[in-house]
Amino acid sequence: MRLLFCGDIVGRPGRDALAEHLPRVRRELEPDFIVVNGENAASGFGITEKICNSLFEMGVDVITGGNHSWDQREMLTHINRETRLLRPQNFPAGTPGRGAAVFEATRGRKVLVLNVMARLFMDPLDDPFATVQRELERHRLGATVHAILLDFHGEATSEKMAMGHFVDGKVSLCVGTHTHVPTADAMILPGGTAYQTDAGMCGAYDSVIGMDKAVPLARFTRKLPTERLSVATGEGSLSAVLVETDDATGLAKRIEPVRLGGRLPEALPVLGAA
Amino acid sequence: MRLLFCGDIVGRPGRDALAEHLPRVRRELEPDFIVVNGENAASGFGITEKICNSLFEMGVDVITGGNHSWDQREMLTHINRETRLLRPQNFPAGTPGRGAAVFEATRGRKVLVLNVMARLFMDPLDDPFATVQRELERHRLGATVHAILLDFHGEATSEKMAMGHFVDGKVSLCVGTHTHVPTADAMILPGGTAYQTDAGMCGAYDSVIGMDKAVPLARFTRKLPTERLSVATGEGSLSAVLVETDDATGLAKRIEPVRLGGRLPEALPVLGAA
Amino acid sequence: MRLLFCGDIVGRPGRDALAEHLPRVRRELEPDFIVVNGENAASGFGITEKICNSLFEMGVDVITGGNHSWDQREMLTHINRETRLLRPQNFPAGTPGRGAAVFEATRGRKVLVLNVMARLFMDPLDDPFATVQRELERHRLGATVHAILLDFHGEATSEKMAMGHFVDGKVSLCVGTHTHVPTADAMILPGGTAYQTDAGMCGAYDSVIGMDKAVPLARFTRKLPTERLSVATGEGSLSAVLVETDDATGLAKRIEPVRLGGRLPEALPVLGAA
Amino acid sequence: MRLLFCGDIVGRPGRDALAEHLPRVRRELEPDFIVVNGENAASGFGITEKICNSLFEMGVDVITGGNHSWDQREMLTHINRETRLLRPQNFPAGTPGRGAAVFEATRGRKVLVLNVMARLFMDPLDDPFATVQRELERHRLGATVHAILLDFHGEATSEKMAMGHFVDGKVSLCVGTHTHVPTADAMILPGGTAYQTDAGMCGAYDSVIGMDKAVPLARFTRKLPTERLSVATGEGSLSAVLVETDDATGLAKRIEPVRLGGRLPEALPVLGAA
Ligand SMILES: [Fe+2]
Ligand SMILES: [Fe+2]
Ligand SMILES: [Fe+2]
Ligand SMILES: [Fe+2]
Ligand SMILES: [Fe+2]
Ligand SMILES: [Fe+2]
Ligand SMILES: [Fe+2]
Ligand SMILES: [Fe+2]
């Protein structure tokens, strides 16, 4: 099965990049299941019901979140109605929504999607490692589900690489989000799990992590209050990873970066080639 | 002129990767000037005089540092004797060594190398933006120096992208270090500066940022004291960027990632091709 | 019942201050139950079996911990043998020892002692608020236990005041530790819980949080590696709080600071006076 | 000379506490010079021109600031007109206003007031230690000025104690602000400098650092977006320190806490008594 995961969608340039490039990606790479991180889709801060629906219409199967999941208040209620929308699983008990669920891919195959947040340099949620372990005890890769995809939303490369090894052999793909810059370390770990430290953002890269650069620059240099952050206006890039799994084991056979449009160096795998 | 910058060398696998792949890189890419970040070259913690010399023998012109610059105490004195060894410039006044100096590349061309540390999620040094500005006022790209290379040692993608734009048009290359994972965002910024958020480490990638994974995993999951961190033992990768500059302006014409050996996806630019 | 809580004991000056002043405090204030935080008792880093025993011999009933609980490795096993030694309850599942237990005070009265660690500006453990809530659901103040004492080990005043209100009316005393400086805000909260943001350290105050000042000063001003921290050598102060509770309700009738010896301003409540 | 320093004024309860208790303090303690930290005077966030003027009318000589200095935008211009208003001196060069100035106390005596911000667990400004040293080189205590008062705005007790020792013998009073809780460690350091880790806030203590407790509690326990913070409505306390200096040397002869009103334990020194 082929899984496509697209990193944090940042505002209109990110949504436009998806609208422009996803059709080609679907045509050429024929993914069986598509997950996107949507925590910055609405002007950089959270996501709305309307944007969720437009992403589903593009062929997205599941939308994950992160520290910005609740920036648009309507999500606190919408997430209870929309089963295809996840938020980090390690928010405190009682938080609306969920961060782990099984979905159906093509030909009835089952995919468990996990969304968990890291803690280093971030707001302290419940232990992400214990959370992941608990969820993985409820499923068996290659037995109860055909694939498992973990979106580990975090800042520090050390915590993300540690999580990769923690789940190695137990999930199909462990991919990081949140830094808004794709890493060039797509690899299959020794146990068979596909791994990339960060998927990068779908957004405008002539920016500071997707936002217009004037305000962040002012903040870093002058330490005075500024205008609000606003999304950069340049052309966006799609930044994603494609993983091919073995349906019998759920493990990865191949992982490739996908980068199209905007200022990022292009990358597009060729089906069949390795 | 062609500049080669290799990211944080982590322990023996990093040094071995350089020893193995740098000859080929020099042969095929003919760099005019080579800089490496050496802050983790000695068992992951700092660098020694002996390792410095072995790197210079491999053809390295300048070694930069970071938060680990002083982990080996001998560096506090050796840095005063070894002009090709830099440490972040924004340490407090009175710190041994320096973080900005002009060196000679092939055919007598002059290269200013700057080494500065970021502050977000790091120990607070002097303002990196003010420090860079002060150094850049002493030189003029394409006039007093042929090229300027800035190693911005930092954690957060936002601060690193902001620095890229801050120096856009004023330096040849702004490249990040410290996260030990290469980013896939090599690009030329609008003003002509080559940029990559992180060069990645020269080290073993079946690891947690170059270190054996058992101890970091124990720390993340159990929060108890552990053995010391030790360098991972697998095969290392060389991770670098190659930049081609215009000697007349000092600005970048091309930036390409270089990744050889170990578990990283390979990348090697072809001279002349674009 | 009268509860005496002594803040972080820092090295020999802290232990000596206890040895010197605790007899007088016991004679004049007649506490029914004595708890001390011992996380820095052994040269500033952790505690040993031998020091635990010397504290029990002084009349201490229970020793609590914090982020330094495991600095002396022998504690990882000793804590399983010594029921009067606690560590923060919100360490991950599987951590040796425990952070909540019921003890016997004078005349067979029962005291629940809770030891929990905060997260703001600290290593992220499990949610301290959820942990406290869970423990409090197992007991009922004034019914199953006569008194409840919470040592909330944390840095930020905001998190500590929030915890005070979170447990107001449900515990007898919520007292902070970890900053090593006593606060002057002893008060009874509206619901009847005695509160002080930090108990202060039992240690030498002509110091930097109990340690010889030369090394911390060098670290703050020079940002270079230094010698190890060592405990300051001046005369130590005892820094504690005394709480008088109503045995019928378990709530507090009075809270007073106790400060004796060394450089701290002296404070010693008078029994019967209010 | 007698210096009175009042900690962070938080909103209306803080201003009301000053209005109610400062007349008595002035009458009974006859301070020669009064400094207050005003960074939270306007609804908890910054200060306005109008509030500045009302404080000056109460007899305040100088108002210091902190990380909230600019929360009310009008301060960015007002600080250039109002010489009695300071902001931390270690903001980047080019920041409006200043953080060090000499003022006149009773009988023409001169007082240097310094306002500097710490960095541990805070936004990284310029080096506070180097900043203080530079300012102190421009003045000589007991020679060019009769007294020097340093408001060190910071979170960590370690950095604040280190600053105390750093300036010991060179300033009359080093007092911390920012944590909004008074510490009980008023002391004269070996070199003759009066010191208290934090002056505490002038504000309502049945609160979370002066703000209504509902919102902070929700944030700590639920990790979801909340309403804005608003100032608590209970009765405020005045929290301050009084220092008596020797005009010949500028060093401290005595330091005493002053706490009046609200829920804080009362403290009021008696003139002449020691
Ligand atoms: Fe994001
Ligand atoms: Fe995020
Ligand atoms: Fe580093
Ligand atoms: Fe490094
Ligand atoms: Fe402690
Ligand atoms: Fe502690
Ligand atoms: Fe404040
Ligand atoms: Fe503040």
D interface residues, B as partner, C-beta within 8 Å: 92-93, 119-120, 124, 126-127, 130
CA–CA separation, C62 and C240 (whole Å): 14
Q: How many CA atoms lie within 13 A of D156 on its CB side?
A: 17
B interface residues, C as partner, C-beta within 8 Å: 70-71, 73, 76, 91-92, 94-95, 123, 125, 221-225
- Report the sign of the C-alpha dihedral through residues C62, C68, C74, C79, in that order: positive
The identity of residue D37, as a single letter, is: N
Nearest CB among A93, A124, A130 relative to C119 is that of: A124
Beta-carbon neighbour count of residue A9 at 10 Å? 32
Residues of C in contact with D185 (CB under 8 A): 181-182, 200, 205, 264-265
Q: Helices (DSSP H) in C43-197: which residue ranges?
A: 49-57, 75-81, 128-136, 157-166
CA B247: distance to chain centroid?
22
Over residues B89-98, mean pLDDT: 98
Q: Is D153 annotated as a binding residue?
A: yes
**C153: CB partners within 8 A, 6+ apart:** C37, C39, C64, C65, C66, C67, C88, C115, C116, C117, C118, C176, C177, C178
CA–CA separation, B48 and A37 (whole Å): 44
What is the token pair recorded at C170?
């449900």
> How many residues would you count in chain D?
274
Over residues C207-235, mean pLDDT: 97
Contact at CB, B223 and C95, closer than 8 angstroms: yes
Please calculate the CA angle A205-A209-A212 and round it to the nearest 5 degrees.
Answer: 75
CA–CA separation, C16 and C19 (whole Å): 5
**A253: CB partners within 8 A, 6+ apart:** A188, A244, A245, A246
Contact at CB, A162 and B217, closer than 8 angstroms: yes
Contact at CB, A129 and B221, closer than 8 angstroms: yes
Task: Give me the CATH code for the C2-260 domain, please.
Answer: 3.60.21.10
Q: What is the pTM of this model?
A: 0.97
The one-character DSSP state at A167 is: T
Give the DSSP H/E element, type plus range, for residue A134: helix A128-136
Q: Report the pLDDT value the prediction gives residue C271, as an integer from 0 to 100.
A: 87
Search chain A and give the residue with CA nearest C130.
A92
Over residues A252-271, mean pLDDT: 97
Over residues D235-263, mean pLDDT: 98
Q: Is D127 annotated as a binding residue?
A: no
Over residues C41-59, mean pLDDT: 98
Contact at CB, A127 and C130, closer than 8 angstroms: no
> pLDDT class for A272, splitting at 50, 70, 90?
confident
Q: 3-state class of A173 per DSSP?
A: strand
> pLDDT class for C41, splitting at 50, 70, 90?
very high
A interface residues, C as partner, C-beta within 8 Å: 92-93, 119-120, 124, 126-127, 130
Q: Report the pLDDT value the prediction gives residue C272, as an integer from 0 to 100.
A: 80
Assembly ipTM = 0.97
Q: Is the pLDDT of residue B20 over 80?
A: yes
Instruction: Label residue D244 exposed, middle or buried (CB < 10 Å: 0-12, 13-18, 19+).
Output: buried
Q: Report the pLDDT value the prediction gives residue B274, as an integer from 0 to 100.
A: 61
Q: Report the pLDDT value the prediction gives residue C273, as an integer from 0 to 100.
A: 72
CA–CA separation, A60 and A63 (whole Å): 7
Tell me what the pLDDT averaged over chain C comes to. 97
Instruction: Label residue A219 exposed, middle or buried (CB < 10 Å: 0-12, 13-18, 19+).
Output: middle
Cβ-count burial A59-73 (b if 16+ within 10 Å, e if not): ebbbbbbbbbbbbbe
Is C179:C121 a contact under the CB 8 Å cutoff?
A: no
What is the token pair recorded at B128?
């990196």
> pLDDT class for B273, splitting at 50, 70, 90?
confident
CA–CA separation, A56 and D27 (whole Å): 72
Q: Is C8 annotated as a binding residue?
A: yes
Interface test with C, best of B45, B95, B224, B228 (most C CBs within 10 A): B224
Closest CA to B150 of B89, B209, B106, B81: B89
D129/chain B closest Cα distance in angstroms = 10
By percentage, how much of chain A surpasses pLDDT 90?
99
The identity of residue C69, as a single letter, is: S
Q: Is the pLDDT of residue D158 over 80?
A: yes
Over residues B116-128, mean pLDDT: 97
Contact at CB, C208 and D265, closer than 8 angstroms: no
CA–CA separation, A236 and A64 (whole Å): 20
Over residues C132-148, mean pLDDT: 97
Give the pLDDT confidence of A33-50 residue by residue, as tens digits: 999 999 999 999 999 999
Backbone angles phi, psi at A96, to 5 degrees: -55, 150
**A273: CB partners within 8 A, 6+ apart:** none
Place of tokens 């029990």: C56
**C258: CB partners within 8 A, 6+ apart:** C4, C25, C29, C238, C239, C240, C241, C242, C267, C268, C269
Over residues A154-168, mean pLDDT: 98
Contact at CB, A73 and D123, closer than 8 angstroms: no
Interface test with D, best of C127, C163, C208 (most D CBs within 10 A): C208
Backbone angles phi, psi at A165, to 5 degrees: -70, -30
> pLDDT class for C220, splitting at 50, 70, 90?
very high
Give the pLDDT confidence of D124-147 residue by residue, as tens digits: 999 999 999 999 999 999 999 999
By percentage, how much of chain C surpasses pLDDT 70?
100
SS (H, E, C) chain D: CEEEEECCEEHHHHHHHHHHHHHHHHHHHCCCEEEEECCECCCCCCCCHHHHHHHHHCCCCEEECCCCCCCCCCHHHHHHHCCCECCCCCCCCCCCCCCEEEEECHHHCEEEEEEEECCCCCCCCCCHHHHHHHHHCCCCECCCECEEEEEEECCCHHHHHHHHHHCCCCCCEEEEECCCCEECCCEECCCCCEEECCECCEEECCCECCECCHHHHHHHHHCCCCCCCCECCCCEEEEEEEEEECCCCCCEEEEEEEEECCCCCCECCCCCCC
Pairing of strands B33-37, A100-104: unpaired
Over residues B228-252, mean pLDDT: 97
Q: Report the pLDDT value the prediction gives residue A273, as an integer from 0 to 100.
A: 72
Give counts: helices (H), strands (E), chain A: 6, 12
Closest CA to B45 of B71, B24, B20: B71
Interface test with C, best of A127, A131, A158, A159 (most C CBs within 10 A): A127
Q: Is the pLDDT of residue D274 over 80?
A: no
> pLDDT class for C274, splitting at 50, 70, 90?
low
Contact at CB, D155 and C159, closer than 8 angstroms: no
Give the pLDDT confidence of C151-167 residue by residue, as tens digits: 999 999 999 999 999 99
DSSP string, A193-210: -EEES-B--BEESSSBTT
**D2: CB partners within 8 A, 6+ apart:** D29, D30, D31, D32, D33, D242, D243, D244, D245
Strands (E) across B73-191 are located at: 100-104, 110-117, 147-153, 173-177, 187-188
Instruction: Label residue A3 exposed, middle or buried (CB < 10 Å: 0-12, 13-18, 19+).
Output: buried
Give the pLDDT confidence of A111-138 residue by residue, as tens digits: 999 999 999 999 999 999 999 999 999 9
CA–CA separation, B93 and B98 (whole Å): 10
Give the pLDDT confidence of D186-213 residue by residue, as tens digits: 999 999 999 999 999 999 999 999 999 9
B149/chain D closest Cα distance in angstroms = 25
Q: Report the pLDDT value the prediction gives residue D272, as an integer from 0 to 100.
A: 80
CA–CA separation, B97 and A118 (whole Å): 37
- Report the sign of the C-alpha dihedral through residues D39, D43, D44, D45, in that order: negative
Q: Is the pLDDT of residue B93 over 90?
A: yes
What is the token pair recorded at C70?
């495991």
The one-character DSSP state at C270 is: -
Q: Report the pLDDT value the prediction gives residue D92, as an integer from 0 to 100.
A: 97
Q: Report the pLDDT value the prediction gives residue D192, as an integer from 0 to 100.
A: 98
Is C67:C122 a contact under the CB 8 Å cutoff?
A: yes
Q: Tell me whether residue D68 is one of the annotated catalytic residues.
A: yes
Radius of gyration of chain D (CA): 17
By percentage, how much of chain D surpasses pLDDT 70?
100
Over residues C210-238, mean pLDDT: 97
Give the pLDDT confidence of B190-219 residue by residue, as tens digits: 999 999 999 999 999 999 999 999 999 999
The residues that bridge with C9 in the sheet, in sequence order, are C202
Search chain C and give the residue with CA nearest A126.
C126
Q: Is the pLDDT of residue C106 over 70?
A: yes
Q: Is the pLDDT of residue B272 over 90?
A: no
Tell me what the pLDDT averaged over chain D comes to. 97
Rounded to the nearest 5 percent, the helix, strand and coil shares of chain B are 25, 30, 50
Q: Helices C157-166 and D214-222 meet at what angle, rounded to 10? A: 100
Closest CA to A63 of A47, A50, A81: A47
Instruction: Label residue A272 exposed, middle or buried (CB < 10 Å: 0-12, 13-18, 19+).
Output: exposed
